[in-house]
Structure 1
Amino acid sequence: MIRGLYTAAAGMVTQQRRHDTATQNIANLNTTGYKQVDSVSHAFPDVMISAMSRGTTQAVGRINTGVFAEQSISQYLQGDLIESGKPVDFALSTDLQVQDPVTGDNIIFDGSGKSVTAQGEVIYRPQAFFTVQDNEGNNLYTRNGSFTIDATGQVLSAGGFKVLDANGNPLLLTDPQDNLKVDGQGNLLDPATGLPSGTRLGISVVNKPQELVRDGNGVFHADDLQAADIRYTNANDNMQVHQGYLENSNVDPTLVTVDLNAAYRAYEANQKVIQFYDSSLQKAVTEVGRV
């Protein structure tokens, strides 16, 4: 009976975290560049139950001891592009491909950007991000292209981070803000000639986006750069920069609302199980004990 209490309590904790994740998604429904988070739950390892009687042991079977919210996974699906008309607003649209190492064909990804090869290997679609830098010199990655330019010509992200160029240096402009022009590949254009000036936006391709860690403020970082396999974009990447646009959140409000209600109902069901066990224990103590 006590084991059932622990199992139901674990279920309540898991559903609370699932509920919190759905609430976070709803709160960021209109946050620029926000990527939906999905909570993944797993069962605790099964344990073998045996019955012991007069020195002999007989196997009864396996029993599960509950579930736990193991991790939260970001979904890097493309969000809708919204026109803002501001010259310092940028959005990315990408369709980066990965070739199967055996067949050489382009891998087909599902709606979540994941694919499982014939060998059972899980592969995620590479994603492109604007590269920014914090005050400690750490590179961060974001899809929020709502930039600003300070009095010194320094280009800053929405979180106040320094926007980098393709050489990994902070992007510093000398021209007025109205003259800022960028082509589809992220090349800054000379305001006088309209030709590439030799400076490009620092857009990074993360070949293994599942290695990224969410920091808040719409940015991610990689604990292991080699594991995340990060590089700057090249001419072969199917990537487009849209000036005067912002990428909206990719949260699916219908799906998140259903998940929110399902988590609430499951939490309520586990709560009733605990109430049942509590009532049974109370009877065992107050009534059975008198007999």
Structure 2
Amino acid sequence: MIRGLYTGASGMISEMNKTDVISNNLANASTTGFKKDRAVFKAFPEMDIHRINDPIRSGINRLVDPRPFIGSMGTGAITDEVSTDFSQGPIKTTSNPLDIALSGEGFFSVQTPEGIRYTRDGSFTTDTNNFLITKEGYYVLGQNGLIELNGESDIIINRQGEIFADGEIVDRLQIVDFEDKGNLEKQGDNLYMANAQDIASVAEVIQGALESSNVNTISEMVDLITTSRAYEASQKVITTHDELLGKAVNDIAAI
């Protein structure tokens, strides 16, 4: 019975972690370029259950306890990892020339005080010195470094990420990809830190548009309800075991 308490508690903790992940997805359902997360569980090793103290007669005056196999018993679950779903989000037109969406796999490179970070959020603007920046104030990087634009220029960005001002090329957006996106770590401000070498991206650049979050609010709400019910089931397991322990201590001991 004691083991049942731990099994139920591990289920509650796992479902709490999943609830936190789903809540974060829902909170960022309208965040540009946001990629939803998924909590991945793994089970603790199962235990084989054998019947004991049930001997059978074997020969004259000889008893043997065969301990027959009954089945397996789960010992709980744990959150193995929180993985990110990098599937494409819907692309919506904004007609703002500094709004840029990526169609396909790839990330914009931005310069932050902690180093180069990566994002799918292409809602850019310019600072007082006409450098292209993110809405959080981080510099957007081109192949030649920071991208400086003339504030009065007609800005055109083609499908390959080349930036033209008044018909003259200024730079090309530094767009990269990663073979194993599992090595990307979310850093806040819709940024990722890479723990792997980047590779060339083949994503198509779309000017005057933004990629929406890939969170499906209906699906997330269904998952939230399912998670809540699983949490309540684990809670019921603990309550039931607690009642059985109470009877074992109070009622059986009284006999």
Normalised by the size of structure 2, how large is the TM-score?
0.88
Instruction: Measure, in 1, the Cα distance between the counterparts of 2:45 and 2:129.
Output: 58
Instruction: Measure, in 1, the Cα distance between the counterparts of 2:165 and 2:103.
Output: 24
What does residue range 1-291 of structure 1 map to in structure 2 within 5 Å?
A: 1-48=1-48, 58=67, 60=69, 62-94=72-104, 127-136=105-114, 138-167=115-144, 169-173=145-149, 175-176=150-151, 179-191=154-166, 194-197=167-170, 199-223=171-195, 225-226=196-197, 230-233=198-201, 237=202, 239-291=203-255
The alpha-carbon distance between structure 1 residues 59 and 153, as it changes in their structure 2 partners (threshold 3 A), is: farther
Amino acid across the alignment from 2:79: A
Instruction: Measure, in 1, the Cα distance between the counterparts of 2:68 and 2:48.
Output: 8
- Conserved in 2, the CA contact under 8 Å of 1:41 and 1:71? yes
SS for the counterpart of 1:164 is: strand
Instruction: Measure, in 1, the Cα distance between the counterparts of 2:32 and 2:107.
Output: 13
Amino acid across the alignment from 2:9: A
Instruction: Measure, in 2, the Cα distance between the counterparts of 1:50 and 1:134.
Output: 60
Amino acid across the alignment from 2:147: L
Instruction: Measure, in 1, the Cα distance between the counterparts of 2:122 and 2:75.
Output: 46
Percent sequence identity over aligned pairs: 35
- Structure 2 unaligned blocks of 5 or more: 54-64
Larger Rg: 2
Residue 63 (structure 1) shift: 2.9
SS for the counterpart of 2:235 is: helix
- Conserved in 2, the CA contact under 8 Å of 1:202 and 1:232? no
Count of matched residue pairs: 245
Residue 25 (structure 1) shift: 1.0
Instruction: Measure, in 1, the Cα distance between the counterparts of 2:173 and 2:66.
Output: 69
Instruction: Measure, in 1, the Cα distance between the counterparts of 2:153 and 2:22.
Output: 40
- Conserved in 1, the CA contact under 8 Å of 2:35 and 2:214? yes
SS for the counterpart of 1:210 is: helix
| Structure 1 moving runs of 4+ over 6 Å | 50-53
Instruction: Measure, in 1, the Cα distance between the counterparts of 2:74 and 2:127.
Output: 58
- Conserved in 2, the CA contact under 8 Å of 1:149 and 1:156? yes
Instruction: Measure, in 2, the Cα distance between the counterparts of 1:172 and 1:243.
Output: 17
Normalised by the size of structure 1, how large is the TM-score?
0.77
Instruction: Measure, in 2, the Cα distance between the counterparts of 1:90 and 1:50.
Output: 63
Q: CA deviation digits over 1:211-251, x for unaligned, max 9?
A: 2111121111112x23xxx1244xxx3x3211111111011
Amino acid across the alignment from 1:66: G
Amino acid across the alignment from 2:156: K
